[in-house]
Amino acid sequence: MGLIPRRIIIGAGLCVVAFALVGIRLVDVTLMQGGVAASVSGRVIAARADLTDRNGELLARDLPVKDLYARPRVLWDKAQAARDLARVTGADMRRLDNGFNTARHPYVLVARQLTPDQQDSVMHLGLPGLEFEPSAKRYYPDGRTAAQLLGVTDADNNGVSGLELGLNEKLHSQAGSQVATSIDKRVQYILAHETESARQMFTARAAGGVVMDVNSGEIIAMISVPDFDPNQRRLGAGDSTRNVMAQDVYELGSVFKIFSFALGFEDKTMHLDEVFPIGQGFRIGKYTIHEAEHMPATLQARDILAQSSNIGTSQIALRSGGVRQRAFLQKIGLLGPIRSELPEMARPLYPRANWGAIETATVGFGQGISVSPLSFVAAAASMVNGGRRITPTFLKQAPGADNRKEQVIRPDTSEQMRDLLRYVVTNGTGRKADIPGYDVGGKTGSAQVPGPNGRYIPHALRTSFISIFPVHKPRYILFVLLDQPHGTKETGGFALAGYTAAPLAGKVISRIAPLLGVPNTAPPVKLARGNS
């Protein structure tokens, strides 16, 4: 055989060996590495659409990451490999060590959702038998700002809370595109900043706020603090995943009085100039209702709301009676859970077996009934938007959308409520929310906090403020809440809503109203002319 044919045969043999090695590797990759997703983890990572705010700004997006698996049988030193991999990935070393020595499957999961930097650190270890599986991690560019509202996804990229859960199917079906929420990032940031600042100033346990369009039902912003970092997937000290605006129910106190007045207007059982006796206490059977602050001997009906009189409101509520009151609260949606795209919700607590005179009186001024703030906001919007029921939505609606539904109070009742709420801000406990030019209407609420034994905790308050702007042509409703705030030197030691929640609402409105296109109608300032 000649030299050239021999070389051809040798070359062909080398090619066969090379192709055989490539084939073995392809089998390893397709059957073994591919089996990481199909048979080892059994996981299918589903893509999700971006979540954006109403202006197209990014709220949540999938980022490409890698899951790391190891083949224990090819590791030189399993114990050392467990230590090194734990160090660079954050995995539990004991879990890895145990898995490497007892694994019944060719692959052991080391860590999920590794960042590119972590992947580089793993590669620098130079360990054999490591395989990276493509995966995805949900990223939230604004971090804590909308944590409870947006929620989070699990390792398989399925929503487990917040809008990620509530819109889970929609986000999967529209993968590769965008789902626009009703949220305005600018308003969300301002509400978050001012609410957290107030919580710290008054050392409150928790706080929250909601901004809603009273005609479309769109939630423009929702905040709950304490919050958490959704990008960390673990809670730090003082963090909370609970959305107090949707998941918790509270006795909201005097903000609830707006419903007693609306019912009074509906039933025509009182008029605003009517004078009611107040005195030192209002007795119903064996119970006596008292005022939170000193009140004059008599008050006109409008001042009962403006000065937040429990005794006066009780008398107004009793004129309609318990049966009528219960039916009215049911009609406006306060005796059932509120339903929206947000999966977190709470059932209200109220007198179910006995709704007598004392229950009618206490419910009338906001005690003895507990509702979620989101439910309250929706019902309050119906009082001012012309009297039509509205359902909150977290999805962007068409410009100028009107999603008001059935009439729950007469339009003239709604007009009277708007006038009265403006009076509360100009002449009552809501003065610190009166922002010149924005025609704010509102109501304060300072509720006692029930304790674990069923009795109210001494000196503990839950303060809130409901505000509408502009009140005579309402577009937005804002509700803020502070859980057990404390008075400061600047407030003279007072922690009532007029000193805590009302100024918080005023600060928020002064910043968000211009962004929302609400015109400032304040008269121009006239400069005094100096002597020439």
How high is the mean pLDDT of the chain? 90
User: What mean pLDDT do residues 47-64 have?
Assistant: 95
410-423 residue pLDDT tens: 999 999 999 999 99
**In the predicted structure, residue 395 carries a pLDDT above the cut 50:** yes
**In the predicted structure, residue 69 carries a pLDDT above the cut 90:** yes
Angle at alpha carbon of residue 306, lines to 305 and 312, rounded to 5°: 35
Q: What is the pLDDT, as a whole number, of residue 161? A: 97
Written as one string, the DSSP assignment of 291-333 is -SS---SEEEHHHHHHTT-HHHHHHHHHHH-HHHHHHHHHHTT
User: Given phi > 0 = left and psi -120 to 50 = alpha, else beta, which region is 62?
Assistant: beta
Q: What is the pLDDT, as a whole number, of residue 113? A: 86
Written as one string, the DSSP assignment of 467-502 is EEESTTS--EEEEEEEES----TTTTT--STTTTHH
Active-site choice (216, 254, 309, 314): 254
Helix (H, G, I), strand (E, B), or coil: what is residue 441? Answer: strand
Residues constituting the chain: 532
Is position 309 annotated as part of the catalytic site? no
Q: Going from the N-terminus, what domains does the chain have, and what CATH number goes with each?
A: 63-137 (3.90.1310.10), 187-515 (3.40.710.10)
Residues 6+ apart with CB under 8 A from 228: 144, 147, 148, 235, 236, 239, 240, 241
User: What mean pLDDT do residues 31-52 have?
Assistant: 60
Query: What is the longest distance spanned by two Cα atoms in the chain?
Result: 127
Residues 6+ apart with CB under 8 A from 408: 331, 332, 382, 387, 388, 389
9-22 residue pLDDT tens: 555 555 554 455 44
Q: How confident is the model at residue 199 (pLDDT cuts 50, 70, 90)?
A: very high
335-385 residue pLDDT tens: 999 999 999 999 999 998 899 999 999 999 999 999 999 999 999 999 999
Written as one string, the DSSP assignment of 333-398 is TTTS---SS-------B--SS---HHHHHHHHTT-S-BB-HHHHHHHHHHHHTTSB----B-BPPP
How many angstroms separate the CA atoms of 297 and 310, rounded?
13
What are the φ and ψ backbone dihedral angles of 66, each rounded to 5 degrees? -130, 145
The tokens for 158 are: 């399925």
Q: Determine how many CB atoms are found less than 10 A away from the CB of residue 297.
A: 8
Pairing label, strands 50-52, 178-180: parallel
Q: What is the pLDDT, as a whole number, of residue 399? A: 93
Q: Are 157 and 112 in contact (CB under 8 A)?
A: no
Q: What is the pLDDT, as a whole number, of residue 23? A: 47
Q: How confident is the model at residue 452 (pLDDT cuts 50, 70, 90)?
A: confident
Q: How confident is the model at residue 198 (pLDDT cuts 50, 70, 90)?
A: very high
User: What mean pLDDT do residues 320-330 have?
Assistant: 98
How many angstroms separate the CA atoms of 36 and 31, rounded?
9
| One-letter identity of residue 95 | R
Angle at alpha carbon of residue 179, lines to 178 and 185, rounded to 5°: 100
Give the position of tokens 């409703």.
477
Angle at which helices 357-364 and 322-331 cross, to 10°: 40
Q: What is the pLDDT, as a whole number, of residue 22? A: 43
User: What mean pLDDT do residues 489-508 have?
Assistant: 96
Which of 425, 428, 530 minimizes the C-alpha distance to 469? 425
